[in-house]
Structure 1
Amino acid sequence: MKTKNLYYFLFLLVLLITWSCSNTKFLPEGELLYVGAKVKVIDSLAPRKERKTLEKEFKGILRPKPNSKILGLRVKLYFYNLAGEPKKEKGFRYWLRNKAGEPPVLFSQVDLGYSTELIKNYSENRGYFKARALADSTRKGKRVTADFEARPGKQYRIKEIKFPTDSTALGRAIAATQDKTLFKTGEGYDLDRIKAERIRIDARLKEQGYYYFGPDYLKVQVDSTVGSYETDLIVKVKDETPNQAKRVFTIGKIIIYPNYSLKDGNRKIRQLEKDSTAVEYYHDFTIIDKEKLFNPRIFDRTLYFHKNDLYNRTNHNLSLNRLVNLGTFKFVKNQFTPADSLDNVLDAYYYLTPLKKKSIRVELLGKTNSANYTGTELSVNWNNRNTFKGAELFTISLFGGLEVQMAGQNNGFNVYRVGSETSLIWPRFIAPFKMQSSSGFVPKTKATLGYEFQKREQLYALNSFKGSYGYLWKENVRKEHQLNVTDIHYVSPNNVTDLYREQIVLNPTLAKVIEKQLIFGPTYSYTYTNTMETSKKHTIYYKGMFDTSGNVAGLLTGSDIKKGDTTKVFGVAFSQFVKLENDFRHYMKLGPESQLASRIIIGAGYGYGNSTELPYIKQFFIGGTNSIRAFRSRSIGPGSYLSESENSSFLPDQSGDIKLEMNMEYRAKLFSIVKGAVFVDAGNIWLMHKNPDKPGAEFSKKFIEQIAVGTGVGLRFDLSILLLRTDLAFPIRKPYYEDRQRWVIDEINFGSGSWRKENLVFNLAIGYPF
């Protein structure tokens, strides 16, 4: 069987090479296929490492780019040729040619003269002022390579940086920025760095009131006569800079139009300004709104500018960000104009267009979860913005959904969910003591009440009630906090079937699912991410969560379940525990359309006082579509323990107090909307204490020997509105096998039907796993 698979592989390889060779047969008469450029820097004045860097940079700026390759073959070009000329602008042939494929890049599109000028200009912008370049081409059959020979010479380096020394206020302000200059003596001349330095200086000046100044009013003169391959950089203000740009401005009047209409524009504004009933004065603000839609206090909390403040860009942007983040305004427009009667004074105008106060939104969602359930959810959301004229958001949501077991599990245990949630968000901190946030994001106080009825077909039903009160705030675009001062959950089961009770006999863990649970206490989470910075090669995401319940109540009542001294509320023993979970992700960009994504999750929880363990809904689970994809959801662990329900094909429900999970996935675009992935997942869960019913489940110093490992490949279909993910995975290490027999790589046999049935796991999901 393995020999047969090798023949298939060799046949596919020969077929792919044949495809690649056939691409030139479809070229127009007299045309040649451009297959790329080679750049050689042969100047001996530059070190070898510097020459290699320049060769890479020169090659990156050359245009056009040759046809893209996949595994060294121009598959997209083959698809283009295979499709031929479609008769209609639709259908499979049109899609194959214009979406999956790409037209040939012809050598006639290559301008060698223009490319040599690009190389010379780029060299001069990098300080190689005596650069030369030559171009030629090499033809092999119907393929042509462009060959470039660059002689950049020696790079000019910075000898001295000179800032203004005059006594004007602007000159002194520019000179004061020198401590943070981007220029460094000894470094090579770089035009891009000069442009960045002008922008940096302008940003510093904006913080000091120079509202009308701009980077174009600065010039950096280059004096290359100061030494051998050396240059001085002299920062100057251009002579043609207008006087207005040289002056510092303060804030005068602050006028706010909270009910501004883009349609009516200035005509309505002029009418309102003449109506004394429409004008309201509050602190330093003039608010013009006949309908009095908003309490003036929200502008005092939101706007950073006050009368006589020195203009600065930070407060300018923070004010705009806060107005946008209120979530009440559809459009936010800001304008600064010179005051009519005072020099060096700016009047600030804010034109705010409100969203509709009341709205209904209906959403139909496709969803998946870690338990390998896939389904839909319909939700209806009614919003009332500006509920109490303070930009509050009141929301009532009704939802219902169906989730079906996927990924080869035993079908029939479908989940039906219906429920409702009500929330009220205030755009400020509401607390007994004063709390402030100086970021560009409005801090929020949120209160929530919710109910959900969940029915798991043929098994049981659960009634869940929840309520919370807490705060959400962001330090900046990267850092976010959420603190729930109180977070209450109450879960009550009903309609438990005989089938489920029979399974409890085989797997006592399942009894936890239908226990009554009462959880109340504070929770906190912190999130940091810079994944939105797409230009970075390395980006990270981190979320840390701290969860606790019943600790004050347990301390006051002296509850100790080990002594039989438990405290109940409404007939239910409340949970007492602490729990900490960390989720760290790293993304490394390998190319324009490829990356290496990694994740590690470490979590632990400890029940004490009124509880011996974590309540079921707070315990850790592992396996499934967003976890270790080679194993069924919740089927791994704890430790080396194997549940009897695993062999009965009944839904496993293993949980633990400790979790360790590691994932690594290589992602790359294949063609059009199709992306591919290769991944490895590893991890397990453990119990904090030894359980005689679950041998091998407790955490010990041998925990590494109990790690489950799986691997696989997947396809992702990026449909813009959603990303559909398919993964095919199989285990390579099974923790419930005997010691020294847990690695099962030698058992892999794709040709065996029994092996495939037992080991291959297909996952269908929406979105990336991490």
Structure 2
Amino acid sequence: MLQLIKTYKVTCNALFFSISLLFFSSCNVVKRVKADEHLITKNTIIEDGKVNNQERVNNIIIQKTNLGMESFLGIPLRLHIYNLARPNIDSILHAKVLSDSSKVRWKTALLSKKQFDREIQSRKNFNSWLKRTGEAPTILNEEKTIKTVTNLRKYYYSKGWFDNEVDYTIKKDSSKRAEVTYTVTKKKPYILDSLKPIISSPAIDSLYDRFSKASLLKKGDQYDEQNYEDERERINTFLRNNGFYYFGQNYIRFVTDTIGTNHKVNTELIIANRSIRGDDSTAVVPFKPYRIKEVNIFTDDNFENRFKAVTDTTTYKDYNLYSKERLRFRPKALTDAVFINKGDIYSDLARSRTSRYLNDLQVFRYPSIEYVENEEDTTLTANIYLEPKKKYALSLDLDVSQSNIQTIGFSVTPGLKIRNIFRGAETLELSGIAAIGASKNRTDDVTAFFDINEFGGNVRLSIPRLFTPFNTDSIIPKYMSPSTAINLSITSQQNIGLDKQTLSGLLSYKWLPSSTVTNILELFNVQFVKNLNTSNYFGVYSNSFGRLNSIARDIDYIEDDESLVDDSLPNRFSPADQFIDDVLDGNTSLTANDEDFIIVNNIEERKQRLTENNLIFSSSFDYIKDKRTNIFDNEFSIFKWRVELAGNLLSNLSEVLGSSKNEDGNYEVFGVAFSQYFKTEIDYIKYFDLGRNNVFAFRSYAGIAIPYGNSNSIPFAESFFAGGPNDNRAWTAYNLGPGSSNTTNEFNEANFKIHLSAEQRFGLFGDLRGALFVDAGNIWNVLDNVTDDNATFTSFSSLEDIAVGSGFGLRYDFDFFVLRFDTGFKTYEPSLPEGNRWFKSYNFRNAVYNIGINYPF
């Protein structure tokens, strides 16, 4: 990893130098432009006297400038790469090398004939690579400019400006550059007036009053061709969800009239009858609505048993279930996933919901739904074919790792998945972990090489419905794909930090109210963390120990050559603990107002919080609205909100039962003071697609966790940190904050956080992308037991402690993931003295180099 970071540093420096070189050599952009040609350097659309920068309109231009030409950097990198290629490489090689027989003989003798031929071919290949990777100059072609004018007229016509006028001018200069300006005069728009329906099928005509109420074509609106297309789709969707199985958009058309209407548009909505094509004729008949006569579910349809006869038949709530072997599923588990009901009218929505729900069960391969027409009574038979996946699936993951606490480590994670375990399409997943490692700070008395170990197990049960003692269908209907997850896990770590045992349990519900919204309710989330080796605190947090040692020497508590550690004692850090007690009890020369006294007090507060056992009994709710349609969508937003309450149930039970409190005034369960707090987080991400691989992305995040009741601090696992490859990239993880404090702690955390990020992403060449970013944010303590003013958010003036980092990055898109390299520079450092915080460490020596997978947000 260290070597990779060093390589990345060299790459970044080389890239920076290359971009600078290309920038200063920008005069060569016309290097491959012939004397009678002109390179298009700018396109401008002037709409009614104002520049139109809308991406939709500017994309109409056929001849776009070279990528990067009109960006804020103004560097057409791919054009420069293309210009590096020689257009006549074969002629050049022949003239300079191949035509000189003496040079050929000399090189052949030196390299051998095979190596010489390979060298010549490599030059040709490299020249071809430059052409492929680069981008040829966009040469002005006036015929394409005229076609753009025609397309612009069509576009503005489609938006209601039927009388628009579009013209163009070309500005050429002596340096073989040209700018094209398109001038658009929209004139008076046309307005929708009347809408007259002409519907041939009586069954559809009888529904007109119902589906016309939500019409997108409203009197008084400006004409927009897209509204007509959307209205066709809307009517088609309505009719196909109301029984018209054979209906399609091609049966809907609009006829508009604008002659002598004084800029008004009169529209006829025409819905034709159904056309049935035979062998040599076509019959035209009225559309009829279809109802579902039967619903048949074939539960074990696969290639192996395709010739077997059905042996098991069950009818459950008007559903017919057929199996060629013994029925593996409880009928209710399958029928609950089906939205196609006997007697209902045909509906595309019921079909899509059934398909989605069956896929969400994750126990079938590619469920398919087929409709068969019963011509004698205008009904449909729905046949649902299911192919169950294998009941058992095994997995085994092996991993070799290295970290800051171990020289080498090995881990194995076996897993077993059992599908349909209770015949209700439930999935049970069993997994375990076994890991061993060799620590970097091994002592001489440790005989075993592998002195680090971790063992654990996890059990997860997924149920495709809400597992509750009461019916919730009226609140969360089954089309929202409700599911339940029950999870139990236990892990034990030794010689990893403070050593700990963790036991956790979870009962959560998930449902999807719409295609963009996901709700998750964690009804019960229980975590118990027991620290087994708290005496090794200063062995883990060595910076705190070093600070204590320094203070002890400064006040002559110990000699300069001594240390607050004694390896002969069972607890080798007992002298450090004793020193803390002596300072806080007033048994040293330090007083409560001394800075060193405050530092010792802060170290003790942090030590108590990080070594205490934690019992967290919480409930939470997550709301996620994700408008991204697919992985290629670059114009979307994601909003996440989470709220969590912990300890209320245990606190109320303790009061009702009259439980006693410990010496700190807190209730305990099984000898552990449980945590009580309120926590909420808000996260908003927005992408703006600027076209041509340019994307501007923005993220804002805020989170706060407030202890109360049985707690005066937040457990370490629930606190916030700042820095790292997905946060403020100018600081490493846990290295920023809290506030303006200049701590040397290994892990800085707090209970309040603000974070903002903005990133401009752009294409370089091929699958290589670039980015410029700015990150801002910090963490603070608020409403807890931390007394350090520099680390505490006291008022809005504390916002002056927001750290700012900026930098650039490279990303390579492998389609299924993105490999990311980011370089962050500390731009504003709140830990420095006021007035001396800007650009003090803004250089490559103090930069932070981040390696990550996929985008940071």
TM-score bracket for the superposition, by shorter chain length: 0.7 to 0.9
Asked if 1:763 corresponds to 2:850, the answer is yes
Asked if 1:525 corresponds to 2:525, the answer is no
Call closer, same or farther: CA 1:170–1:10 in 2, change over 3 Å. closer
Asked whether the 8 Å contact 2:753–2:777 carries over to 1, the reply is no
Equivalent-residue separation in structure 2 for 1:14 and 1:762 (angstroms) = 21
User: Superposed, which structure 2 residues align to 1:267-306 within 5 Å?
Assistant: 268=307, 271-272=308-309, 275=310, 277-291=311-325, 292-306=327-341
Indicate the larger mover: 85-94 or 540-549: 85-94
Report the residue type matching 2:300 in the other structure.
N
TM-score by length of 2: 0.74
**Residue aligned with 1:322, SS:** helix
Partner residue of 2:702? 601
**Residue aligned with 2:59, SS:** helix
From 145, 151, 157, the counterpart of 1:118: 151
User: Superposed, which structure 2 residues align to 1:336-375 within 5 Å?
Assistant: 336-343=371-378, 345-362=379-396
Asked if 1:678 corresponds to 2:718, the answer is no
1:412-469 C-alpha deviation (Å, 9 max, x unpaired) = xx99865432211111111111123325442112111212344676x43222222222
User: Superposed, which structure 2 residues align to 1:365-764 within 5 Å?
Assistant: 379-399=413-433, 419-436=456-473, 437-438=476-477, 440-454=479-493, 459-495=497-533, 497=536, 499-500=539-540, 506=548, 507-508=603-604, 509-532=606-629, 537=635, 539-549=637-647, 550-558=650-658, 564=664, 566-591=666-691, 592-609=693-710, 611-643=711-743, 646=744, 651-672=745-766, 673-692=768-787, 694-701=788-795, 704-705=798-799, 707-717=801-811, 718-737=813-832, 740-741=834-835, 744-745=837-838, 747-748=840-841, 750=843, 759-764=846-851
Equivalent-residue separation in structure 2 for 1:377 and 1:184 (angstroms) = 65
User: Superposed, which structure 2 residues align to 1:81-230 within 5 Å?
Assistant: 81-83=83-85, 87=121, 97-98=131-132, 100-107=133-140, 111=144, 114-129=147-162, 140=173, 142-143=176-177, 154-164=188-198, 168-230=202-264
1:172-209 C-alpha deviation (Å, 9 max, x unpaired) = 32343222221233433333221211111111222322
Equivalent-residue separation in structure 1 for 2:195 and 2:61 (angstroms) = 33
Question: Which of the pair has the greater relative contact order for Cα pairs under 8 Å at 6+ separation?
Answer: 1
Call closer, same or farther: CA 1:733–1:119 in 2, change over 3 Å. closer
Equivalent-residue separation in structure 2 for 1:214 and 1:769 (angstroms) = 43
Asked if 1:314 corresponds to 2:349, the answer is yes
Equivalent-residue separation in structure 1 for 2:130 and 2:411 (angstroms) = 34
**Residue aligned with 2:227, SS:** helix
Equivalent-residue separation in structure 2 for 1:10 and 1:72 (angstroms) = 15
Equivalent-residue separation in structure 2 for 1:264 and 1:89 (angstroms) = 57
Asked whether the 8 Å contact 1:582–1:603 carries over to 2, the reply is no
Report the residue type matching 1:333 in the other structure.
S
Equivalent-residue separation in structure 1 for 2:664 and 2:736 (angstroms) = 32
Report the residue type matching 2:625 in the other structure.
Y
From 330, 338, 343, the counterpart of 2:365: 330
Partner residue of 1:3? none
**Residue aligned with 2:235, SS:** helix
**Residue aligned with 1:594, SS:** strand
Asked whether the 8 Å contact 1:174–1:205 carries over to 2, the reply is no
1:635-680 C-alpha deviation (Å, 9 max, x unpaired) = 444444443xx1xxxx523333333333333333333322213112
Equivalent-residue separation in structure 1 for 2:528 and 2:248 (angstroms) = 59
Partner residue of 1:25? 31
Asked whether the 8 Å contact 1:333–1:351 carries over to 2, the reply is yes
Asked whether the 8 Å contact 1:559–1:565 carries over to 2, the reply is no
Partner residue of 2:110? none
Following superposition, the deviation at residue 735 of structure 1 comes to 3.9
Following superposition, the deviation at residue 143 of structure 1 comes to 4.9
Equivalent-residue separation in structure 2 for 1:83 and 1:517 (angstroms) = 65
TM-score by length of 1: 0.81
Equivalent-residue separation in structure 2 for 1:403 and 1:93 (angstroms) = 50
Equivalent-residue separation in structure 2 for 1:461 and 1:16 (angstroms) = 55
Report the residue type matching 1:546 in the other structure.
E
Partner residue of 1:249? 290
Equivalent-residue separation in structure 1 for 2:452 and 2:730 (angstroms) = 23
Report the residue type matching 1:309 in the other structure.
D
Call closer, same or farther: CA 1:316–1:239 in 2, change over 3 Å. closer
1:271-311 C-alpha deviation (Å, 9 max, x unpaired) = 53xx4x23322221112212223221112211112110122
Equivalent-residue separation in structure 1 for 2:493 and 2:126 (angstroms) = 43
Following superposition, the deviation at residue 520 of structure 1 comes to 2.6
> Which 5+ residue runs of structure 2 have no aligned equivalent?
1-13, 90-119, 277-283, 440-450, 549-602
Asked whether the 8 Å contact 1:629–1:681 carries over to 2, the reply is no
Q: Of the two, which has the highest radius of gyration?
A: 2
Number of aligned positions between the proteins? 720
Indicate the larger mover: 427-436 or 505-514: 505-514
Equivalent-residue separation in structure 2 for 1:730 and 1:58 (angstroms) = 38
Equivalent-residue separation in structure 1 for 2:165 and 2:782 (angstroms) = 70
**Residue aligned with 1:232, SS:** strand
Asked whether the 8 Å contact 1:528–1:541 carries over to 2, the reply is yes
Call closer, same or farther: CA 1:235–1:367 in 2, change over 3 Å. farther
Partner residue of 1:16? 22
Equivalent-residue separation in structure 1 for 2:683 and 2:401 (angstroms) = 22
Call closer, same or farther: CA 1:151–1:326 in 2, change over 3 Å. same
Report the residue type matching 1:102 in the other structure.
E
Asked whether the 8 Å contact 1:690–1:697 carries over to 2, the reply is no
Equivalent-residue separation in structure 1 for 2:661 and 2:125 (angstroms) = 68
Query: Matched residues, percent identical?
Result: 22
Report the residue type matching 2:347 in the other structure.
N
Equivalent-residue separation in structure 1 for 2:511 and 2:17 (angstroms) = 59
**Residue aligned with 2:393, SS:** strand
Asked whether the 8 Å contact 1:641–1:696 carries over to 2, the reply is yes
Asked whether the 8 Å contact 2:273–2:285 carries over to 1, the reply is no
Call closer, same or farther: CA 1:154–1:439 in 2, change over 3 Å. farther
Following superposition, the deviation at residue 323 of structure 1 comes to 0.9
